[in-house]
Amino acid sequence: VIAESVRPTVIIGNWKMHKTIAESAAFVTSLAFVVRHSSTQVGLAVPYTMITAAADAARGALIAIGAQNVFDAEEGPYTGEISCRMLKDAGASFVIIGHSERRHLFHEDNAWINRKVKRALNDGLRVVLCIGETLEQHQTGKTHAVLHEQLTECLKDVGERQIESLIIAYEPVWAIGTNQTATPEIAQASHHFIRNEIAKKWGKPASERLIIQYGGSVKPENAAALLNEPDIDGLLVGGASLVLDAFVKIIQCHKIKTQSAT
């Protein structure tokens, strides 16, 4: 069994629809300087137009640049869509798939998300798959059933080797952009459930290596307590990743986890 502390801490910012090319380059340049000695893995999921500038600014630094969505076809007549090849060509190494805003505002369902996940993994992008229950599902005790269904359907036909390139982000919908962070205990219970589900299907070693991030109103004030939970290996940060100072503070929380784990 691989010890929990063997998993790296992975902190990713999700900028959603914010910033300009110049702002993204300046942010990444400053961030690169701050994280140059950090053992935490850091990523930024930026809008498509900023991928190249952000990736150029991140060159030589340990910051991965990714996208927030992708289409599931290789190429073709899909006006307004973008492919994995285009994302990689622009400088992206990972992509967020299945974010609740995509599910709710753009009607992405588990079957479509599954096609995107398989396409991205086949095409060599690391995938951050977002799952999580709504407030109503949370309040009516359906969290585990929802997570089970999302994992089963979104990861259908994904092979054991491909799981290595997957990160799962547990993002309770009621916690996103609401300042209602899940308590570390609630998040840990879901993360533990998710890891067990992965173990059942892809085996214990794969599940022990899997990075499971928490997302939903992560702030410098609550990041350390979340990261201290044994099955919380990282954070997917929305609003607080737009402000350099706040994002840096969240990245630096990793030190606390390392100390408490040894």
For the bound state, the minimum distance from the C-beta of residue 65 to ligand PGA, rounded and expressed in Å, comes to: 16
Nearer residue to ligand PGA within complex by CB, 121 or 218: 218
**Measured at CB, which residue is nearest to ligand PGA?**
238
- Choose, by CB under 6 A, the member of 226, 239, 246, 253 that binds ligand PGA: 239
Both structure tokens of 257: 């986890």
Both structure tokens of 3: 């010890």
Return the half-sphere exposure (C-beta side, CA atoms, 13 A cut-off) of residue 102: 22
CA gap 171, 237 in Å, rounded: 10
Of 106, 109, 17, 119, whose CA–CA distance to 71 is shortest?
119
For the bound state, the minimum distance from the C-beta of residue 177 to ligand PGA, rounded and expressed in Å, comes to: 4
For the bound state, the minimum distance from the C-beta of residue 37 to ligand PGA, rounded and expressed in Å, comes to: 26
- Choose, by CB under 6 A, the member of 43, 98, 184, 215 that binds ligand PGA: 215
Q: Which value, to the nearest 10 degrees, does the dihedral of the CA atoms of residues 240, 226, 156, 122 take?
A: 50
Site string (8-27) toward ligand PGA, x via CB under 6 A: ------x-------------
**Cβ neighbours of 164 (radius 10 Å):** 13
- Choose, by CB under 6 A, the member of 92, 238, 250, 257 that binds ligand PGA: 238
Measured CA distances, 189 to 61, 70, 87, 231 (Å): 34, 30, 34, 9
- Choose, by CB under 6 A, the member of 35, 217, 247, 257 that binds ligand PGA: 217
Which residues are near ligand PGA by CB under 6 A? 14, 171, 176-177, 215-218, 236-240
Residues serving a catalytic function are: 99, 171
